[in-house]
Structure 1
Amino acid sequence: MDVFRDDHYTYAVSELASGGDLFSWCLNHPVPTPDREAEMLPLVAQTFSAVEWLHTLGIAHRDLSLENILLTGLGCGESPQLVKLIDFGMAHLGRWCPAATTLGPGKPSYQAPELHLKREYDGFLADTFSLGVVVYAMALGNYPWQSTKPGRSRVFDWVSCHGILPFLQRREIACS
Structure 2
Amino acid sequence: MLRYYNGRVRSKSSTPILQASIKKIGQNYLPVVQSRDEFSFGLEDYEIIRVLGKGSYAVVRLAKHKTQNIKVAIKTYDKATPQVLRNVRNEVKVLKYLDHPNIVKVLDVRQESQAVHIILEYALGSSLESFIKSRAIDLNEISKIFKQILSTVNYCHNMGVVHRDLKLTNIIIDPAKRIKIIDFGFSTITNGGLLKMFCGTPEYMAPELVSQKPYLGHKTDMWSLGVILYYMLTKTYPFVGRNEREILRKIALVGMQSLMKVPNEAVGLIKKLLAIDPNNRSFAHEALNDPWLNMSKYQAVFYEKSYER
State whether TM-score is above 0.5: yes
Query: Which residue does the alignment assign to 2:196?
Result: 99
State the alpha-carbon separation in 1 of the partners of residues 208 and 158 from structure 2: 22
Q: Deviations over 1:118-146 (max 9, x none)?
A: 33210000000000000000000011113
User: Which of 142, 149, 152 is the aligned partner of 1:50?
Assistant: 152
State the alpha-carbon separation in 1 of the partners of residues 141 and 169 from structure 2: 18
> Superposition pairs for residues 16-95 of structure 1, below 5 Å?
16-18=123-125, 20-30=126-136, 35-72=137-174, 74=175, 80-94=176-190, 95=192
State the alpha-carbon separation in 1 of the partners of residues 117 and 159 from structure 2: 18
* Paired residues of 2:110 and 2:119 also in contact (CA < 8 A): no
* Structure ID, larger Rg: 2
Secondary structure of the residue aligned to 1:167 is coil
Secondary structure of the residue aligned to 2:246 is coil
State the alpha-carbon separation in 2 of the partners of residues 9 and 146 from structure 1: 36
State the alpha-carbon separation in 2 of the partners of residues 97 and 25 from structure 1: 34
Secondary structure of the residue aligned to 2:173 is strand
Of Structure 1 and Structure 2, the greater strand share is in 2
State the alpha-carbon separation in 1 of the partners of residues 246 and 148 from structure 2: 32
User: Which of 128, 135, 144 is the aligned partner of 2:222?
Assistant: 128
Superposed CA RMSD in Å reads 2.5
Pairwise CA distance, 1:42: 1.3
User: Which of 6, 9, 14 is the aligned partner of 2:121?
Assistant: 14
Cα distance change of structure 1 residues 56 and 85 upon mapping to structure 2, 3 Å threshold: same
* Paired residues of 1:3 and 1:10 also in contact (CA < 8 A): no
Pairwise CA distance, 1:92: 1.3
Unaligned runs of 5+ in 2: 1-104, 263-309
Amino acid at match of 1:105: C
TM-score by structure 1 length? 0.73
State the alpha-carbon separation in 2 of the partners of residues 117 and 155 from structure 1: 11
* Paired residues of 1:4 and 1:11 also in contact (CA < 8 A): yes
Query: Which residue does the alignment assign to 1:115?
Result: 209
* Paired residues of 1:112 and 1:129 also in contact (CA < 8 A): yes
State the alpha-carbon separation in 1 of the partners of residues 194 and 179 from structure 2: 26
Q: Percent identity?
A: 27
TM-score by structure 2 length? 0.43
State the alpha-carbon separation in 1 of the partners of residues 131 and 183 from structure 2: 18
User: Which of 221, 240, 244 is the aligned partner of 1:146?
Assistant: 240
Q: What count of residue pairs does the alignment treat as equivalent? A: 149
